[in-house]
Chains A and B, each alone.
Chain A
Amino acid sequence: MMDRPCIDDLDLLALADGFLDDDPARKAAIEAAIARDPEAASRLSDYRAQTAALRTAYAGALAAPVPERLRAIVEDAERTRARPVLRRAAAGLVVVAAGLGGWLVGHGEDDTARRALLDESYRQFVLRGPEMALSGEGGGAPERAISWIDDEVAIRLSAPDLSSEGFTLVGKRGVRRSGDQLVALEYRSRDGRAFSLFIAPRWMDSPGPIVERERAGIALAYWHDGPLAASIATQLPRAEARVLAEAVRRAMRDDTTAPPAGLAPEFRPLRNPVGDVMADGLATIPGSETLDAVPGLAPTTFGSN
C-alpha cells in the first residue's frame, strides 16, 4: 500500500521557505506527493516565486550602509543610556554612606563608594563574620554562581576560588540596606584563619589599587575592578590581610564568568524578584538577615584618606 502523505498549504510553504531541508525524509515524501498533484505543484511554484521575489526585493536593505543616526544610537549608548542605570548602583552606596552619618564631603563618587563599602564591611564583620558563618563546607561550592539581585538587574559572578590560599567558602549571604546590596562571602582555612569578602556593584572604567584600613583590630582592604567593588575584613595581621586581598583580587579577575575588565556587568532579567531574597537562595542561609533587622550598631566611620 502506498504511503501518500497528506499535503497542506503549510507543507508547501515550509518546502518553499526551506524549512524542510533539515528533514530530508519528510521533504522527499512531500516532493514525491507534489509530483503526483499538479495543483499542489502549481501552488508550490507560486510560493517559491513569492519567496524568491521577496528576498530579492528586500535584499538591498542588508547591503545598504547603515545611516549614521542609527549607528550613533548604539555607539553613544554608553554615555547617554547605560550609565544612569549603572550609576544607580554606585549612587546606592552614596545613599548608604550619607545615611550613616553624613560625613562625606566632596571626595568624589569613588571615595564615597569606598568608604561606604569599608564601613559596611566592618559592621557586617563585627555582626556576623566568619566565626558566625556556617561551620563545615555547606555554605556553597566556590563554582556556584552568585546571582546578584536588584529590582531591575542581576549580576552574575562566581565566588572566588581561594583553595590555592587554603581557604574554603563556608558561608554567603545577601545584605540589603537602604536599597543597596552587598554580597557577603565568608572564608575559613583549616588552621582557623578567616576573613569576610564583601562585593558591591559599581561603575568605573579603570581598576583601582588596594586601599587598606585597620580599625579596632580588624584589617580591612578595598579595591575596585570593572563593575565590582570588593572589600575584605579579617582579624589576621594587616600584612597577611594585604596578601590575602591581592589573592582574592587575582581570583576574581581569573574568574572566567566575570565580564572582562572595563565592560559593564552582564544584566539578566529578573523573572521573580522576591524582596530581599537572592536568586541562588543566599538569604536562606541562617543568620542572613540584613543589618536593618539587627539591633543597632552605631556606625563608626573611617577617617578621611
Chain B
Amino acid sequence: MQETKWLIAREIPRLRRYALALTRDPVAADDLVQDTLERAIRKRHLWSRHGSLRAWLYKMLYHVFLNQGPRRKRRANEVDLDVAPDPIAPATADARLVRRDIVTAMQELPAEQRAAIALTAVEGLSYDEAAAALDIPVGTLRSRLSRGRERLRETFDDFEPQLRQVK
C-alpha cells in the first residue's frame, strides 16, 4: 500500500491543475483536491491496478466537484481572480493577460464542457480516457468538446483586440 500512496502523491500536482481548471479559485481547487485525496485514500483498495491511477483520480475529483457542498461551490463562485492568489508562476505581463483571458473564458463555460476541455487540452488525456474519467460515452465527450471549444473560440477571440492593443 506504500506503493499506492506513493503513486497517489505523485498525482497531486496534476490534480491541482485539473481542480484549478474546474474551480478557477486556487483555494477552492486545493479544497477539492483535499477532498479527493481523502476519498482516494479511503477507497484506494478499489483502484484496479489494471487501469490508470491518474484517470481514476481524475474521475474521483470530478465526482467530488459535482457533489461538493454548496458552501464550497459558493466560495468558488465568489472568488475574484483579481484578489485570489495567483495560481501561476510569475510570467511576463503579456503572458499574464493571455492567461487571464483564457481562464475567464473557461469559467464562462458549463462545468461539463470545462471538464472535457481541461482533461483533453490541458491534461492530455485521450478522448477515450477523458470520457471514462467523466463517466460519459465518447460521443458525448466529443459533443461537449466541440461545443465548448466553439464557445471558447468565440469568447477567447473577443480578447484578441485587447491583446493586440496591449502589445
Contact = CB atoms under 8 A, between A and B. Distances in A.
Nearest to B95: A56
A50 B13 contact: no
Contacts of A75: 5, 9
Contacts of B38: 73
A61 B16 contact: yes
B167 interface: no
Contact of A74 (B37, B46, B122): B37
Interface string A39-62: 000010011011101111111111
Interface string B93-130: 00100110111001000000000011011101011000
A74 to B, nearest CB: 5
A10 B145 contact: yes
Contact of B44 (A49, A58, A265, A267): A267
Contacts of A266: 1, 49
A137 interface: no
Interface in B1-28: 1-3, 5, 8-9, 12-14, 16-17, 20-21
B103 A17 contact: no
A60 B20 CA distance: 10
A70 B37 contact: yes
Interface residues of A, number: 49
Contact of A64 (B13, B47, B99, B124): B13
Contacts of B20: 58, 61
Contact of A70 (B34, B48, B120): B34
A50 B88 contact: no
The residue among A13, A16, A58 with the most chain B CB atoms within 10 A of its own CB is A58
A50 B149 contact: yes
Contacts of A107: none
Contacts of B30: 67, 69-70
A54 B47 CA distance: 30
A132 interface: no
Contacts of B117: 54
A216 interface: no
A152 B45 contact: yes
A15 to B, nearest CB: 12
Contacts of A19: 120, 126-127
B129 to A, nearest CB: 11
A263 B3 contact: yes
Contacts of B2: 78, 262-264
A62 B17 contact: yes
Contacts of B3: 263
A50 B156 contact: yes
Contacts of B122: 54-55, 58
A296 B99 CA distance: 74
B83 interface: no
A293 interface: no
Contacts of B1: 78, 82, 263-267
B98 A56 contact: yes
Interface string B79-101: 00000001111010001001101
Contacts of A67: 30
A61 B13 contact: yes
26 contacts: A10-B142, A13-B149, A14-B127, A19-B126, A47-B153, A50-B121, A50-B149, A51-B121, A53-B99, A54-B102, A56-B98, A58-B20, A58-B87, A61-B29, A63-B13, A64-B16, A70-B12, A70-B16, A73-B34, A73-B41, A74-B12, A78-B1, A82-B1, A153-B45, A262-B2, A263-B3
Given A9-B146, A50-B121, A51-B121, 12 more contacts: A16-B121, A17-B120, A19-B126, A46-B153, A49-B156, A62-B14, A66-B12, A70-B12, A70-B37, A75-B5, A267-B45, A268-B45
